[in-house]
């Protein structure tokens, strides 16, 4: 088990290095950093001196090492557009995106898993056919259209829920949370559903496929033959074995949730990292783009590490393998 975890850790470090390299290449090769940092009136001599001071004439490897070192120290450079430290800009946006993503993920799990189990157990029912048809439509409707439809019905026509922004937030030691105000929750509902719908269809389809697979297996047939009560059979014997792939998908979905939050944040003007990333693309603000990538990759790697650790707890075989 120690070997398994150590291997994953090393892999994660390599992924992070690769992403840092990508961010660095962006910064170094897309446009000239010096022309971005200085104005038109800066003389060529001054530009050259700045280039030398910043170490942009050093060998490539040195520059990359320094870039990575700075990142580890929390120094992410300055935005071309606002001249603010990027670390600060991103840090203030992280809570909004994470809270939105977590709620969306929970919606996708709490609706997707039961729906998947149900449609697997009653494959010929009318409800199942309806749900499957709906998921196909759900996959085909782009996230932003789902957002617009929700805004139209619940925001404009019915006027029940706010359609943009985060509503009231409470500052918890630097973390702006919208979980503690009614206003914040109301503002969260529509964006979270928008973001969760696509993930929900994925979760449901996966759970359904896994569950159908497991129901065909010998041990379930044997358990049926032994006369194990149906409820116990479904939820104890079968569902437990579908959990490993489901946990994998949670890890993968986290990436999807973060990426699609760019779209959702744009529709609902949600002040998160995605909106910041979009602005940075529009203004070719390379440092912000790079750091966004690194931060996203970090969350992604972290979640997948946790998922790998969870395997060890869920699947006893992984614990025994090391002994042999």
The residue ranges that bind other proteins (CB under 8 A) are: 15, 18, 26, 30-31, 136-137, 139-145, 148, 151-152, 156, 252, 255-256, 259-260, 262-263, 266, 277-278, 280-282, 284, 286, 289, 293, 296, 300
E strands present in the chain = 170-172, 175-177
Asked if residue 4 lies in contact with residue 318, where contact means CB atoms within 8 angstroms, the answer is yes
Nearest approach in angstroms of CB 131 to other proteins is: 15
Q: Determine the number of helices (DSSP H) and then strands (DSSP E) in the chain.
A: 14, 2
Task: State in angstroms the smallest separation of the CB of 230 from other proteins.
Answer: 26
Residue 175, strand partner residues: 172
Q: How far is the CB of 323 from other proteins (least distance, A)?
A: 30
Nearer to other proteins, 117 or 275 (CB): 275
Complex with other proteins: residue 77 or 184, whichever CB lies closer: 77
Burial class (CB in 10 A: 0-12, 13-18, 19+), 230: exposed
For the bound state, the minimum distance from the C-beta of residue 54 to other proteins, rounded and expressed in Å, comes to: 19
Nearer to other proteins by Cβ, of 223 and 247: the residue is: 247
Q: Write the DSSP symbol of residue 78.
A: B
Q: Cα–Cα distance between 277 and 285 in angstroms, integer?
A: 9
Closest CB to other proteins among residues 162, 256? 256
The distance of closest approach from Cβ of residue 14 to other proteins in the complex, given in angstroms and rounded to an integer, is: 10
d(CA 120, CA 118): 5
- Residue 175 DSSP one-character state: E
CA 107 to the chain's CA centroid: 14
Q: What burial class does residue 52 get, using C-beta atoms within 10 Å of its C-beta: 0-12 exposed, 13-18 middle, 19+ buried? A: exposed
- The distance of closest approach from Cβ of residue 19 to other proteins in the complex, given in angstroms and rounded to an integer, is 9
3-state secondary structure (DSSP) of residue 39: coil
Closer of 185 and 255 to other proteins (Cβ):
255
Q: Give the H or E element holding residue 282.
A: helix 273-282
Choice between 246 and 262, CB closer to other proteins: 262
**How far is the first Cα of the chain from the last one, in angstroms, to the nearest whole number?**
11
Q: Cβ 136 to other proteins, closest distance in Å?
A: 6
By C-beta, is 169 or 261 nearer to other proteins? 261
């Amino acid at each position: 088990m120690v070997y398994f975890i150590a291997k994953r850790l090393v892999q994660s470090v390599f992924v992070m290095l690769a992403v840092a390299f990508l961010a660095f290449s962006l910064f170094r090769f897309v446009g000239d950093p010096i022309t971005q940092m200085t104005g038109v009136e800066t003389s060529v001599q001054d530009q050259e001196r700045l280039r030398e001071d910043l170490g942009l004439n050093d060998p490539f490897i040195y520059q990359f090492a320094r870039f990575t070192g700075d990142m580890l120290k929390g120094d992410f450079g300055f935005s071309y557009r606002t001249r603010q430290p990027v670390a600060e800009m991103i840090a203030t946006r992280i809570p909004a995106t994470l809270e939105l993503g977590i709620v969306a993920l929970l919606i996708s799990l709490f609706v997707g898993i039961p729906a998947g189990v149900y449609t697997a157990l009653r494959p010929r029912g009318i409800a199942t056919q309806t749900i499957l048809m709906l998921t196909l439509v759900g996959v085909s409707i782009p996230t932003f259209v789902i957002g617009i439809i929700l805004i139209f019905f619940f925001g404009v026509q019915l006027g029940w829920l706010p359609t943009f922004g985060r509503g009231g937030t409470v500052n918890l030691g630097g973390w702006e949370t919208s979980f503690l105000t009614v206003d914040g929750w109301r503002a969260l509902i529509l964006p979270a559903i928008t973001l969760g719908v696509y993930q929900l269809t994925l979760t449901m389809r996966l759970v359904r496929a896994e569950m159908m697979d497991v129901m065909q297996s010998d041990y379930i047939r044997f358990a049926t033959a032994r006369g194990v009560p149906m409820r116990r059979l479904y939820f104890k014997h079968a569902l437990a074995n579908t959990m490993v792939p489901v946990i994998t998908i949670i890890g993968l979905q986290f990436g999807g949730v973060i990426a699609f939050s760019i779209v959702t944040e744009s529709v609902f003007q949600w002040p998160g990292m995605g909106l910041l990333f979009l602005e940075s693309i529009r203004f070719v603000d390379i440092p912000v783009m790079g750091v966004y990538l690194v931060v996203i990759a970090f969350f992604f790697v972290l979640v997948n590490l946790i998922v790998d650790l969870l395997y060890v707890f869920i699947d006893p075989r992984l614990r025994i393998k090391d002994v042999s």
